[in-house]
Each structure stands twice: as C-alpha cells, then as structure tokens.
A = this chain, B = another copy of it.
Amino acid sequence: MSVQFADARFHFSTFSCVFSSLLLSGLLVSGVAVAKEVSRKNKPAMADIIKASAAADWRALIPENTLYLELEKGRVVMELAPDFAPKHAINIRALVREGYYDGLAIVRSQDNYVAQWADPEDENPAKKREVKTARKNLDAEFSIKYAKELPFTRLPDIDGYAPQVGHANGFAAGRDPKTGMAWLAHCYGAIGVARGNESNSGDGTSLYVVTGNAPRHLDRNITVVGRVMQGMELLSSLPRGTGALGFYEKPEQMTAIKSIRIAADVPEAERSKLEVLRTDTATFKAVVEAQRNRGGDWYKVAAGYIELCNVPLPVRAQK
C-alpha cells in the first residue's frame, strides 16, 4: 500500500469505470443520480477552475478593512466586513489605531469552538487597559437591514439555520426575505465580538475566531465582524486552555499579541498582498459546484449538496 489519503481534495480526473459501476450496482436510487452521473463526466476540478479564472474574478483585500494580528509565530490576516457591522468596523479600527490590542494576549482556546483575545487584566481595575478614543458601548449588529446594492450570491442548498444562505463580498451569510435582514454566519474562521449578557456589551475589545465545527447557533446572537483570510492555523493549533470554557489558567500559557495593525497603516513593502475570489462571479459558482458534486477517481458518491460553511472561499497571493 502506498501513502493513503483521507481525501484527494484537489484531485479530479475523468469519470472512472470504478465509479460508474458502483453507481450502477447500488447507488442508482433515483433519476437524479443518473443526471448527476452525466453532469459529473468531464467535470472541471476546483483547481482547474481557479487556474483558468480571469484577473477580474478576484479582488485585492481592502487595506482599510484588513487587520494584521502579529504573533511571535507569524501573522494572521483578517478582513472586516463593514457591510454587515459598520459601527463595529469603525470601533475596531479606532481600537487598533490607539494601540489598544498591542501587548494583550490570546486568553482562551476552547477545543472545537473558538480562540479569543482580550486584556488578561480585564477584571483588575488597577491594571486594566483603558479605552481612549474608541466607543465603550456599541449597539449590537447581530443582523442588518439587507441593502439592495449588496451583491448576494444565493446558495441553492438547503440550510437549517437560515431561510436563505449565500455569499456577499466573500463572506458567508444568512438572509431572511420575510424580515429583510441579513447576517454573517459563524463558519470556521469567522471573527466575532465577544459580549456579556447584554446585547450591547460587546465593544470590540475582545474578539474571537471560530476554530471548530461551525457554531451556527451563535448566528444573530453576536456581532460577526469579518473573517480570517490567512494564518488561521496560528489560532486553530494553539494549545487548548484547561480552565472553564477553554480559558487559560496561567498568564504564561497565553499567546502574546505583539500588535494588531490596519494594512492601510503598514508600509507597502510589509503588507501581505492577498486577493480573494469574488463571490458574485461565474467562477465562484463553478467552484461551488465542483465541491458540491466532486468528480474524479477518488470520490465514489457525490454529495449533491454543500453546506454553507464547507464552501471554499479561495484566497491567494496577489497576481
């Protein structure tokens, strides 16, 4: 046996006899399967679709919306989503520019859930860091009135947590046509504003990133402000905290935050030059379909479905 893969995620080739015979022997339970089989023949792979994409299918990260979380082990690049949380984006920029986060720490890493940073001295009035220019209270932005001009590429797949799901400017979102509201979804890599029991108690001084199976029950219960675009592994592979809810019990277990900076404030030469696939393009739709019904030799059964948080949102070095 040669090295076995749990998945050949990027390996697609032409429709194989193995796959075909399996389908015919046991899995042809409806006419839908026949249609799927036909449509999967010569199906382009995600990697091929991305390779063949046009420059216009991509957009650079917006420097004023891009944050660099600098850790000893490297940089986490995040993008804010002011379309969904405009007041929080403003406040987080203010916190960054007053240096609020610099020297704080990642205080929590709960397995299959979140990594979170905050002021470790938050409950010590004598040592607690003061907020200088940013607002100390902000109304919740759990969901927003959906703006017509915001592009929303709806995913046709059903979802249990929202009447409609899809993508807006590269962010996974839910939408309710009855209320006209939309909200960012708690997918892996989503960045949320930690809060206490009151809806308006999250000010951005403590943020968390989803590091586990999408905790979508948090949707519309907390303000999601953006997502991690690069360096996710620096947060997801942190040792888990042994205290309640994954909080670290000793300061020396915490990971120090060297700084958080806004890309627009960083010299050009030091910026991470990334671009993200536009989610309002045919290329993106093709990527989603390539993952919804995977072709190639490895897959024996196509899912025929893709869950919102399994949709890839490709990010790459700017070309």
Give residues in A with beta carbon < 8 Å to B: 1-9, 16, 18, 22, 26-27, 29-30, 108-109, 111-114, 116, 118, 122-123, 136, 142, 157-161, 176, 178-179, 187-189, 192, 194-199, 201-203, 205-206, 208, 212-222, 232-233, 236-240, 245, 291, 294, 297-301, 303, 305-307, 309-310
Q: Are B160 and A307 in contact (CB under 8 A)?
A: yes
- Give 4 closest A-B pairs by Cβ, nearest first: A4-B194, A160-B305, A6-B208, A233-B240
Q: Are A310 and B233 in contact (CB under 8 A)?
A: no
Known: A26-B179, A109-B237, A161-B303. 14 other contacts (CB 8 A): A4-B118, A4-B195, A5-B196, A6-B113, A6-B218, A7-B114, A111-B236, A142-B300, A158-B158, A158-B160, A159-B160, A220-B300, A237-B238, A307-B307
> Which residues from chain B contact A222 at a C-beta distance below 8 Å?
6-7
Say what secondary structure dominates the interface of chain A.
Answer: loop
| Bound CA–CA A204/B244 (angstroms) | 36
Q: How many copies does the complex hold?
A: 2
Q: Which residue from B114, B176, B196, B237 sits with its C-beta under 8 Å from A239?
A: B237
Q: Are B303 and A197 in contact (CB under 8 A)?
A: no
| Bound CA–CA A214/B157 (angstroms) | 16
Given A194-B6, A199-B18, A305-B161; A232-B123 close (CB under 8 Å): no
Q: Are A197 and B298 in contact (CB under 8 A)?
A: yes
| Bound CA–CA A222/B217 (angstroms) | 29
> Which residues from chain B contact A299 at a C-beta distance below 8 Å?
217, 221
User: Could you pull out 17 A-B pairs where Cβ atoms are within 8 angstroms?
Assistant: A4-B196, A4-B201, A5-B196, A6-B113, A6-B194, A6-B208, A7-B114, A7-B218, A18-B197, A29-B176, A111-B233, A112-B232, A142-B301, A160-B305, A188-B213, A217-B303, A219-B301
Q: Are B1 and A196 in contact (CB under 8 A)?
A: yes
| Bound CA–CA A221/B294 (angstroms) | 11
